[in-house]
Structure 1
Amino acid sequence: MKAEHRAVPAAPKGPVVAPRKTANTDHALPRAKRLAALLRLGVPGALAGFACLAGAQQGAPTDAEAVALNPVVVTGAPTATESFELPYSVDSVDLRANQAGNLGVNASEALAGVPGLVIQNRQNYAQDLQISVRGFGARAAFGVRGVKLIADGIPATNPDGQGQAATFNLDTAERIEVMRGPFATVYGNHAGGVIQLFSRKGEGDPRVRASVLGGSWGTTKFGIGAEGEKNGVGFVLDASRFDTDGYRDHSKTRRDQGFAKLTLNPDEDSTLTLVANGLRQPETEDPLGLTWDRYQLDPRSVEPEALAYNTRKSIHHLQGGATYERRFGEDRLELTAYTGRRSVTQYQSIPFDVQGSPRHAGGVIDFDRDFYGMGARWIDHSDLAGGRLTVTAGLDYDRSEDDRRGYENFIALVPAGQLLGVKGMQRRDEINTVTSLAPYAQLTFAQGPWQWSAGVRHTKVRFKVEDHYIVTGNPDDSGRLEYSRTTPTLGVTYALSEATNLYASLGTGFETPTLGEIAYQTPQSGFNFGLQPSRSKQAEIGIKTFVTDNTRVNLALFSIRTKNEIVVADSLGGRTSYMNATETSREGVEIAAESELARDWSARAALTWMTAEYDEGFETRSRGNVTQIPAGNRIPGIPALTAYAELAWKPLAGLELAGEALYRGKVYVNDLNDKPRAPAYTLFNLRLSAEQRQGPWTFGQLLRVDNVFDRKHVGSVVVGDSNGRYYEPGPERSVYAGVSASYRF
């Protein structure tokens, strides 16, 4: 890992964070003191301390250690680059090793130890995981927003910024990369962070496999698959069925997934990859959140509305794509195209008596979405002024079209009464189209101990609404709007030694409203075409160092300022409208460490401390009441402190016993900060995995115990729920076991 052989990243000086006043004296330290302490103790102390450690090091890690502690990543970089070299925070989680001790159902199983990332299993498969990166995405009540999701080069995030992590197939995944910081803005709209999944490539002798597992809360999962290479064609095939009754009442689900990947080489200079995957999730029960009183009484229960309206969701998702890569010596051309269809029907618990207005869209959401896109990029390498220059230029185009309908969630009976939780009269009929066009460029220049990087992207997002539901009292709400912004980013890495890098980066980003956020100008009126994107500035400085040959430590300090933050304007009658109201700030520190302690012991740990608050006050409404949100209030949904630690023991080849500890700090649930916070908690998990090989056969077993000490806790929160159903309880002690077998031909 010689400095003169490096081949990547990026530009300028680290952030200068100016202390600012806070109007909320209830919080532990005024921001001026917090930042002063952070900058005084964190930056000089950490840099000086690691510099001293670097001076005592024996050298860079061996090749074997570098594979584990310094993985090659592609997220944010023009070409595959060692994570150690990059001027931003990026983690690569090896799922080939991780899968042995996990269920392979939710990405939260594998990503709990990534600093800066809060990923929570809601225990509600109707609403997907709750994911935020340095606070981006914390407000999402369903799905994922503010974080870009990508799987095998195909966006799992729509052009409007709403994404679905449930489409990730973990059974075939090779690794997941998680990127934080300014360089995430290279990915455009809603890229407060990037989570990118890469599936395995079909290699080696063909083999077939089967697996079965079961455990607490009526959980079962069956899977079959095949992979390998035959006559120059690599293939990976997988199908699985997951069933659970759910920890909570009314949370049963079935999830069927399928995946196929083919890798071909038309000639010695090109590669063609074909990918297809599908998700079928019929009649998934939605337990909703709980009020604080009901959570205290019985965390497994549901509110009466969930049962009365039989809240539920059905999802059918199918997509496919192709990537063609052609090499011209060191240079490369990459072309990607994809298409798919997603159908969703959701029954909500909106009270029937508030649906009287002809402008109300009803309590049943029903849409069919067709989506497609394409991308092209050229990567050029050249020598310049004694250094190495890499330039990438590309263009992304994405489009989605929703045939969206709304219905009442009841049928009026004669002579009196209502039948609830059924599809009633139609109340909405429209075509929603979102397109995104984004040219971009990146360059990196490596010379001696310095590596410079820069990127720029110009994103144009267009929304078009064609309203076909025009009746008396409900006029034509058709319209269109366009958002565009150029987002540059810069970074620099300096090699203090072979084993220690200092870096800094700076960038700007923006988030357009999602379709759901522009859907209502007020709870009873048309589309909110006046809502503007939020704009952010991010800065990060940090150090990456190999403290010893087999121990790596990363430290990052970040500062994020956002203008025109999208917040709730009004909530009434089961509908929420949004506005641009305020400025926010998020500042914090991330520390991650990973070590091969001995031949058969390894450990890793991560810690994130962050303050996230409103810098300006604003007004919001709920049920017609005006509320003043004061400056200095904490942004809900973001814990101030998160931590993770893991210790693994591998006494024999193919046998691993590991313990995990996860801490989440208290979480505010609403903007006013006046409701009970979700309490802090610490969970301990154990996992045991084993593998035996006998000729062409390979057998595997797993045993997993989550929440070993049976800790009562709130696993996630529904931010700002107008009904006060903020709390989503996590499960009690849970035990799972599974076996697998594969045969190699």
Structure 2
Amino acid sequence: MDRRIQCVRSIHARQASGAVRGSSPQATEAQTHAAMYDGGRAPAGRLRPTHCRTTQSRILPMNRIAVRNPRTRLGSLALALLLGALLMLPAAPAAAQADTDTVPTFNLDSLVVSVLGTPVRFGRSPYPISVLGESDLRIGKTGMFLEEALQSLPGVQVQNRFNYAVGERISIRGFGSRAQFGVRGIQVVIDGIPATLADGQSTLDHLDIASLGRVEALRGPASAMYGNASGGVLRFETEMPAGTPVREEFTTVGGSDGLLRLQSLTSGTVGDASYLISLDRLEYDGFRKFANGANTGDAFGAARRRHANARLVQPMGGGQLGITMNYFDLDSENPGSLTRAQFNADPTQIAPTYNTFKTGKDVNQGQLGLTWGGPVAGLTAEAAVYGVTRDFSNPLPNDVVDLDRRAGGGRLTLGRSTTSGSTGIDLLAGVEYDLQDDDRREYTNSGGLPNTLTQNQTESVKSTGAFFQASLSLMDRVSIVAGARYDHATFKVTDLFPVTARVDENDSGSRDMDKFSPTIGVHVAAAPGIGLYANYATSFETPTTVELGNRANASGGFNPDLDPMTGETLEAGARGTLLDRVSYEVSLFRTNLENELIAYENVNVLTYYQNAGKTRRTGAEAIVRARLLDFVTGQVSYSRTNAEFVEYVDLKGLDFSGNKVPGLSPQQLQGSLRFTRAGWYLDLGAEYTDEVPVNDRNCLVALVAGACPASAGGARQDGFTRAYTLVGVRVGGTGVQLGRFEITPFAGLQNLMDERYMSSVTVNAFGGRFYEPGPGRTLYVGGTLAVSR
């Protein structure tokens, strides 16, 4: 058995005997991985599992920090200069590598990941996986948006709408790009508890970004392991608790557009138990403003959020019990998307329709989750159960949606590992059950308040899955992972609206959807420091209850013509290291999809969905990390995804075959440099985002035949956003010690070039309102005061 995998498993065994303090097997494993990734170092006051320590260099990707558009040439020049500096700086002399505590080296095999279900060495994975540690996710960042944390991942696009009412659009290789709000097409797990509901939608409102410790991203379809809506996987883990009985951290961040975030984080280890309690308050006015009228110049787009997150881990029953509790309350305004003319005139203005109907979102949610992991009858068992309650009010143009949700589920996996000579086998089998019950009522909108009831129905989803996975290691050179899963989902709607009060009939009904999903991947250690991999994976994605329930004619019930999306992916890639100072990964993929779900808006600004016939995505991803000098690290990542309709005739008979699939940027290029000296750091970063198609026509004018005109009346008519480059800088300290106190100051300047850009799009929006603007140049300043007892 591999020594590093064995090391991780020995932690589980020691947990059972109480020899290792900390969290559940999954959490303590994550702590070990973080220590490996960070060269065995951990933040002050944190648990440091040195029994598995290796030297592993870390490259801290730069926060995406912005740029504006008549000056795109200037922004592109800045990006070119940054990337040129990264590639041209000489490597440090060999003598500097003698002290690995000062200059960590790269060792991909020292990092162990868990997103595949069983511990796998990062350098031997047959699937594309990215890992971010605590410093990558949080150092010098505001903790406001997930985009700050994930923007360095190749293949992962986070379109930050700077609008808490609809959230950030997250997509992995295009899966999730259709989401008008929330997250679609991606499985999300937080501290071992699913954040993806039975119908496939994920909500990240309750994610405590400011206390994240680790993220693992599986970039590509994973339905064989995770079931419905698994075009990719994001696995989040809360930071490690302090190794002392009590450590208190107080963080304050203030900045442009009325930003104020306050956080109290208390954690510690007492005996064999560890705990973490985070309390967070956010106030944000937003940058969108009234363009005219009595409130001209006043902000609209504000958000007020209160969040509490707690985690307790202690030994129980020969294993480790983890208890996670969180609650949040969010009140936010939605300034809406703009037409191109409105954007060109003033990108900070709010859409007049959204002001009329006082659009926004008011939601509160509570969640409780339990995890347990340990040995059972010679097997390794992991179990999780959770429950969610969510109350939601959502004023939209013309309508107000009032929804009460109750959801929950459970998951059980059993695993066994055996070795024979140089051959190792890991077997994993499990079952999963999730349920979801929604009480949905819709009213006419009267100035943001509900008026006449137009829809009243209950919606329920029950999802069941069973899966099996086998991992085979041959002579420490060949790794094979194969698995399969069967999923069945039942959607049921009960129409409670009186038939006599409507012209239509009772819309009650049900839908059943199921799928068998196989996968297989192979990795070969071709030479020292070089690994080659290939995989075949499948995807299965049902429509969510919202997508089934929103019909073009605004009637109740579920859309009987909307089918699940299915797909197959072939991929090949390589990863490795050079001179122990550079790591790289390159991958090529091709995905064929049937029945892709496409969003539309009708005249009442109601979003509804239909299936496209067939689509194809081909792409490439690359990332290079390097330690250029003792005090300089750098990173470059590139993603290209060519997504197009292969066969697609819409309900009006228009043929869009050959057009680009909307909502997805075909190219992204990111680069960053970090300079560190005597406990201080300076980060420089830039990101280029290519133009994004906004609708299926790829054109702003209605077409009967022929190509889209380049312009009409002097205005652009092509259905794409402008490409843009964002540049930024961060500076801060890694911890200034003043007696028992530790002070960590930081500051950042975002959108350094004050770029005018479209940060996201509303796909197939009615009336040409496709464009969601990003803010101009912004500044933030913050700091953390910590004390341990």
Tell me the TM-score normalized by structure 1: 0.86
Deviation at 1:74, TM superposition (A): 3.6
Which residue of structure 1 aligns with residue 665 of structure 2? 639
Deviation at 1:322, TM superposition (A): 0.8
1:699 aligned to which of 718, 727, 743: 743
Which secondary structure state, in structure 2, belongs to the residue aligned with residue 145 of structure 1? coil
Which residue of structure 2 aligns with residue 580 of structure 1? 611
1:427 aligned to which of 447, 454, 471: 454
Which residue of structure 2 aligns with residue 687 of structure 1? 730
Which secondary structure state, in structure 1, belongs to the residue aligned with residue 766 of structure 2? coil
Question: 1:452-494 CA distances to partner (integer Å, 9 max, x unpaired)?
Answer: 1101111111101111112331321111111110100000000
Which residue of structure 2 aligns with residue 465 of structure 1? 493
Tell me the amino acid that sits aligned with residue 772 of structure 2.
E
Identity %: 29
Q: How does 1:135-174 map to 2 (within 5 A)?
A: 135-174=174-213
Which secondary structure state, in structure 1, belongs to the residue aligned with residue 243 of structure 2? coil
Tell me the amino acid that sits aligned with residue 511 of structure 2.
L
1:611 to 2:638 alignment: no
C-alpha change, 1:574 and 1:728, in structure 2 (3 Å) is closer
Which residue of structure 2 aligns with residue 319 of structure 1? 367
1:495 to 2:525 alignment: yes
Question: 1:484-516 CA distances to partner (integer Å, 9 max, x unpaired)?
Answer: 101000000000123111000001111111111
Q: How does 1:267-306 map to 2 (within 5 A)?
A: 269-282=318-331, 284-306=332-354
Which residue of structure 1 aligns with residue 47 of structure 2? none
Which residue of structure 1 aligns with residue 597 of structure 2? 566
Q: How does 1:446-485 map to 2 (within 5 A)?
A: 446-448=473-475, 449-472=477-500, 473-485=503-515
1:629 aligned to which of 650, 655, 663: 655
C-alpha change, 1:197 and 1:560, in structure 2 (3 Å) is same
Cα distance in 2, alignment partners of residues 496 and 348 from structure 1: 56
1:504 to 2:553 alignment: no
Q: How does 1:222-237 map to 2 (within 5 A)?
A: 222-237=262-277
Which residue of structure 1 aligns with residue 580 of structure 2? 549
Cα distance in 2, alignment partners of residues 128 and 238 from structure 1: 22
Cα distance in 2, alignment partners of residues 324 and 604 from structure 1: 37
Uncovered stretches (5+) of structure 2, i.e. residues with no partner: 9-96, 290-299, 701-718
Which secondary structure state, in structure 1, belongs to the residue aligned with residue 695 of structure 2? coil
The worse-fitting range, judged by mean Cα deviation, of 117-126 and 201-210 is 201-210
1:130 to 2:169 alignment: yes
Cα distance in 1, alignment partners of residues 601 and 2 from structure 2: 57
Uncovered stretches (5+) of structure 1, i.e. residues with no partner: 9-58, 351-362, 411-419, 621-625
Question: 1:34-79 CA distances to partner (integer Å, 9 max, x unpaired)?
Answer: xxxxxxxxxxxxxxxxxxxxxxxxx9x9798467866735444232
Question: 1:252-287 CA distances to partner (integer Å, 9 max, x unpaired)?
Answer: 1111111000010136x41111111112102x1001
Cα distance in 2, alignment partners of residues 276 and 649 from structure 1: 38
Preserved contact between residue 439 and residue 457 of structure 1 (Cα < 8 Å): yes
- Alignment length, in residue pairs? 668
Preserved contact between residue 558 and residue 587 of structure 1 (Cα < 8 Å): yes
Preserved contact between residue 208 and residue 225 of structure 1 (Cα < 8 Å): yes
Cα distance in 2, alignment partners of residues 524 and 184 from structure 1: 32
Deviation at 1:578, TM superposition (A): 2.7
Cα distance in 2, alignment partners of residues 76 and 605 from structure 1: 24
Deviation at 1:564, TM superposition (A): 1.6
Cα distance in 2, alignment partners of residues 614 and 113 from structure 1: 28
Deviation at 1:3, TM superposition (A): 11
Which secondary structure state, in structure 1, belongs to the residue aligned with residue 450 of structure 2? coil
Which residue of structure 1 aligns with residue 384 of structure 2? 336
Deviation at 1:345, TM superposition (A): 0.2
1:259 aligned to which of 309, 313, 316: 309
Which residue of structure 1 aligns with residue 147 of structure 2? 108
Preserved contact between residue 285 and residue 302 of structure 2 (Cα < 8 Å): yes
Cα distance in 2, alignment partners of residues 436 and 202 from structure 1: 34
C-alpha change, 1:132 and 1:4, in structure 2 (3 Å) is closer
C-alpha change, 1:3 and 1:181, in structure 2 (3 Å) is farther
Cα distance in 1, alignment partners of residues 461 and 120 from structure 2: 33
1:402 to 2:438 alignment: yes
Preserved contact between residue 7 and residue 445 of structure 1 (Cα < 8 Å): no
Which secondary structure state, in structure 2, belongs to the residue aligned with residue 409 of structure 1? strand
Cα distance in 2, alignment partners of residues 544 and 67 from structure 1: 12
The worse-fitting range, judged by mean Cα deviation, of 380-389 and 660-669 is 380-389
RMSD, aligned α-carbons: 2.5
Deviation at 1:182, TM superposition (A): 4.0
Which residue of structure 2 aligns with residue 713 of structure 1? 757
Tell me the amino acid that sits aligned with residue 465 of structure 1.
V
Deviation at 1:384, TM superposition (A): 4.1
The worse-fitting range, judged by mean Cα deviation, of 192-201 and 212-221 is 192-201
Which secondary structure state, in structure 1, belongs to the residue aligned with residue 205 of structure 2? helix
2:401 aligned to which of 333, 356, 365: 365
C-alpha change, 1:723 and 1:516, in structure 2 (3 Å) is farther
Cα distance in 1, alignment partners of residues 143 and 600 from structure 2: 39
Preserved contact between residue 5 and residue 119 of structure 2 (Cα < 8 Å): no
Which residue of structure 2 aligns with residue 38 of structure 1? none
Which residue of structure 1 aligns with residue 720 of structure 2? 677
Tell me the amino acid that sits aligned with residue 571 of structure 2.
E
Preserved contact between residue 656 and residue 696 of structure 2 (Cα < 8 Å): no
Deviation at 1:251, TM superposition (A): 0.4
Question: 1:379-428 CA distances to partner (integer Å, 9 max, x unpaired)?
Answer: 10012474000001111111111011111112xxxxxxxxx322102122
1:743 to 2:783 alignment: no
Preserved contact between residue 181 and residue 539 of structure 1 (Cα < 8 Å): no
Tell me the amino acid that sits aligned with residue 253 of structure 1.
A
Question: 1:162-198 CA distances to partner (integer Å, 9 max, x unpaired)?
Answer: 1122221122211111111244642111110111110
Which residue of structure 1 aligns with residue 690 of structure 2? 665
Tell me the amino acid that sits aligned with residue 448 of structure 2.
G
Cα distance in 2, alignment partners of residues 573 and 389 from structure 1: 57
